[in-house]
Amino acid sequence: MDLQNTFPLIGDKLPEMVVQTTKGVINLPEAYNGKWLVLFSHPGDFTPVCTTEFVSFAKKKEEFDKLNTELLGLSMDQVQSHIVWENWIKENLNQEINFPIIADSGKVATTLGMLHPNKGSNTVRAVFIIDPNGIIRLIMYYPQEIGRSVDEVIRSIKALQITDKYKVATPENWPNNPIIKDNVIIPPAKDTETAKQRLIDYKDSCFDWWMCYKKLE
């Protein structure tokens, strides 16, 4: 099979696809309308790094639920392999995998650029965060050898939701930034008068007219 990667960009609509999962057939992105979605790929079932990741995602499912966020895994393994692997995790690590896993024939992986040219049919560790309108808002790629941080995925969703709601930006490692802590950044002024007014309105929380911050309301 000739598998040719394509690469969607942040801000693109998630392509429409019908996928087979461990929870049945799902229409993407329609099935998740009104929800945030974390679509993440793993190189293969019955591999140690992937197993640690899936256990962590499953353990933090309630945190994702509170953020109106669904989880959807993927690899180019058959659905039977996914099911047997899920059962192994439950029996040996006492954790139920409480979200669906796509059994991909290659269509999803190539559409979303998840295949490494030197790794055969194994997908890289990709993460797509998709908003309730089906728009791709954040993309992360990791090599096969490095496990992801589920906490960073959760942090990123929280930051996206905050920036959407309040029309602000978030600093490095928000809400634990060493400079402005849990404050958020006010978008820079786009004209001279606004820049001057910023220094008055936020005189105690500006390093300069272009770097002002505030507490969340």
Q: What are 39-75's pLDDT values in tens digits? A: 999 999 999 999 999 999 999 999 999 999 999 999 9
pLDDT at 4: 62
Distance (Å, whole) CA 183 – CA 119: 42
Distance (Å, whole) CA 153 – CA 151: 5
- Tell me the CA distances in angstroms from 96 to 53, 149, 151, 173, one per residue in order: 13, 19, 19, 30
DSSP state of 115: B
pTM higher than 0.85? yes
**Helix/strand/coil percent split, the chain, to 5:** 30, 25, 45
pLDDT at 192: 95
pLDDT at 1: 47
DSSP H/E element including 139: strand 136-142
pLDDT at 123: 84
Give the number of other CB atoms < 10 A from CB of residue 132.
15
Distance (Å, whole) CA 155 – CA 150: 9
pLDDT at 7: 81
pLDDT at 116: 72
Q: Is 50 a catalytic residue?
A: yes
Mind listing the domains of the chain with CATH numbers?
17-148 (3.40.30.10), 167-217 (3.30.1020.10)
* Active-site choice (28, 38, 39, 50): 50
Question: pLDDT digit of tens for each residue in the chain (217 aa)?
Answer: 455 667 899 999 999 999 999 999 999 999 999 999 999 999 999 999 999 999 999 999 999 999 999 999 999 999 999 999 999 999 999 999 999 999 998 899 999 998 877 666 678 899 999 999 999 999 999 988 999 999 999 999 999 999 999 999 999 999 999 999 999 999 989 999 999 999 999 999 999 999 999 999 7
